[in-house]
Structure 1
Amino acid sequence: MEQMTTIVTSLGYALALALVAPLVSGIIKVSKARMQNRRGPRLLQVYYDLFKLLQKDSVVSPTTSWIFTLAPYLYFAGAFGAAALLMSGDLFALLYLLAIGRFFLAMAALDAGSSFGGMGGSREMYINVLVEPVLLLTMLTVAARAGSTKLAVMSAAAAITPFSLPYIFAAVAFLIILVAETGRVPIDNPDTHLELTMIHEAMVLEYSGRRLGLIFLAAAIKQLVFILLFTVLFLPWQPGGLSPIMALFWFVAKVLLIAVALAAIETSTNKMRLFKVPGFMVLAGMLALLALVAQ
């Protein structure tokens, strides 16, 4: 009975995150537009776009196979499952769920037979090979202190010494990983359709309608999952004596702060050339290694 309650609670939590994720994407878009002195989209524009896409049928190339058809659902299922594991799941299970979705989306990009899709899929895997070892190394910094890979235990351990030197190094490394995993400048540009620079957008060019809407929603959920990981593992501090409602407001404020910080990073940096990405990831890897050694 207790296990069933945990499953239902986790699914409800994941559903709540799926409903909130487009709002966080909208906050980032609006913040970025304001920093660039543009009017920008409305705050709820992402919801309108998703609703419009989910009402449309998909146009599928006759050269595609079952991989192309199934990939958006697996990508969404991986992101939704990762959101469900945030409360009481295992770190490695969460990361593997996200990796499965990424793998099938890259395979679908190749399956469509488009030159842009193949380019985007190969670039995505190239960046993924650089990002995943650094991400695991960063997470091991917190897991080593907690003595467990359970996210709840890791979060509790992080709250004890939130501003120690290892956590600061790991936080900077994870912030770089956050930018890379969410496909943002300087690694990728989510707003571009220039064939020489796009990565994630190139993989989904052949998608339309409901499948494209699922991919966009899954990307928003994945982005929120990484923001929440950063919040609970590297910004766990809160003032003492807060009521549950005020603690929730404090937590939301930290999430909004990270969202605005992502917009500021995109505004203040330029798109990095692809051959310079390994050096950027090496920097994150060195910080993560220093954090692990300084435990």
Structure 2
Amino acid sequence: MVLQLLVVAAGAPLLVGLMRQVRARLEGRAGAGVRQPWRDLRKLVRKEAIAPHGTGWPFRAAPPLLAGTTLVVAAAVPLVTADSPLDGVADLFAVAALLALGSVALALGGLDTGTAFGGMGASREMTVLALVEPTILLAVFALSIRVGTTDLGAIVTATASSPLSLISPVSLLAAVALAVVTIAESGRIPVDNPSTHLELTMIHEAMILEYAGPDLALIEWASAMRLTVMLGLFAGLFAPFGIATATAGPVALLVAVVAFAAKVALLGGALAAGEVFMAKLRLFRIPELLAGSFLMALLAVAASFFLA
């Protein structure tokens, strides 16, 4: 668990740097380098923490709460190993609740500033969250029916021991639904554009405009870890090869770390490459996209009962 946590915490900014580099190369630019996000975090940590006048504890508590919930999820979700001391937290509903708690805390921090941007971003984030969280629950629940438990480690272990079980309409529908909500949860195109500050397109960026210094560094780091966790969870559920089990030794853990890094880098690179050729959706079309993913997850649950 400690190794998995260290890999996610240290590798998340590198994943963001890799995605930026892939996008830059495809757009004909040189790019700032894979390690640039770590340089940005180091620069922000050295700056003074500034809070807008009139803000209270929700504004100050949002960054550590977002980072704390993300670290707990990163330690509990089966990414490098399917066996974790936090098996009680690795339940599907607990993980979804922790992810939602971090998003709600950040939205409350944006509202606490009293600015138009903060309120706009918070309302948009809650709209997305209301459709994303049920879809995550249904998509993974469809995979848990054949296992008989909502424990994520048990689901990944069962899939790794029987990979042919993924060849089914249930897995296809759940994979598509989870892929869409992963994009929405991490604030990527076509739901949100992390590289812009235009008023009409901002969702995540609108909530954090008033943050600076170490608080902003904590938010950016936590956001990178959430992206890594979501991509790692997707890879663990639908491509669990290489993941370590309870009886794994040091060599197996090393292989699991390499496999996890390769899978997440591949998914992140594919996501970044897709962003080059996709346009951001209009704000009022985003609920239609997320509702479509929710319908796919619902069909996956129905199909899991019919095909059981």
TM-score w.r.t. length of structure 1: 0.91
Match of 1:118 in 2: 119
Q: How many residues align?
A: 283
- Separation of aligned partners in 1, 2:65 and 2:223: 12
Tell me how far 1:267 sits from its aligned partner: 1.2
- CA drift at 1:202: 0.5
Distance 2:101 2:293 in 1: 23
Bigger shift: residues 201-210 or 30-39: 30-39
**Is this contact kept in 1: 2:232–2:260, CA < 8 A?**
no
Deviation at 1:158, TM superposition (A): 2.4
8 Å CA contact 1:162, 1:236 repeated in 2: no
- Aligned counterpart in structure 1 of residue 36 of structure 2, from 36, 39, 45: 45
Counterparts of 1:163 and 1:250, CA distance in 2: 21
- Equivalences for 1:205-216 in 2 at 5 Å? 205-216=209-220
Q: Output aligned runs, 1:190-209, within 5 Å.
A: 190-209=194-213
**How far 1:286 sits from its partner (Å)?**
2.1
Report the CA distance between 1:107 and its aligned residue: 0.5
Give 1:270's match in structure 2, choosing from 274, 279, 291. 279
Tell me, which stretches of 5 or more residues in structure 1 are unaligned? 1-9
Q: What's the CA shift for 1:11? A: 4.3
Indicate conservation of the 8 Å contact 1:82/1:95, yes or no.
no
Q: Which residue of 1 aligns with 2:51?
A: 60
Provide the C-alpha distance between the structure 2 equivalents of 1:138 and 1:279, rounded to a whole number of angstroms.
17
Partner of 1:163: 167
Shift of 1:83: 0.5
The change in CA–CA distance for 1:21 and 1:67 in structure 2 (over 3 A counts) is same
Tell me which residue corresponds to 1:35: 26
Name the CA distance, whole Å, in 1 between partners of 2:2 and 2:241. 26
Tell me which residue corresponds to 2:245.
none
- Residue 251 and residue 78 in structure 1: after superposition, are their counterparts in 2 closer, same or farther (change >3 A)? closer
Structure 2 match to 1:6? none
2:136 and 2:2 map into 1 onto residues whose CA distance is 25
| Residue deviations 1:192-234 (CA, integer Å, cap 9, x gap) | 0111111100000000000000000000111111011001001
Q: Distance in 2 between matches of 1:247 and 1:19?
A: 16
Of 204-213 and 98-107, deviating more is: 98-107
Name the residue aligned to 2:246: none
Amino-acid identity (%): 43
* In structure 1, C-alpha distance between the alignment counterparts of 2:43 and 2:167, rounded to whole Å: 44
Alignment RMSD, CA only? 1.7
| Separation in 1, partners of 2:211, 2:258 | 38
Q: Deviation at 1:184?
A: 0.3
Cα shift at 1:19: 0.9
Q: Residue 189 of structure 1 aligns to a residue in which SS?
A: coil
Q: Which residue of structure 2 aligns with residue 3 of structure 1?
A: none
Letter in 1 for 2:141: L
Distance in structure 2 (CA, Å) of the matches to 1:291 and 1:283:
12
TM-score, normalized by length of structure 2? Answer: 0.87
Q: Deviations over 1:229-278 (max 9, x none)?
A: 0010012246xxxx735554344322221111110221121110111112
Q: Which residue of 2 aligns with 1:219?
A: 223
Q: CA deviation at 1:293?
A: 1.9
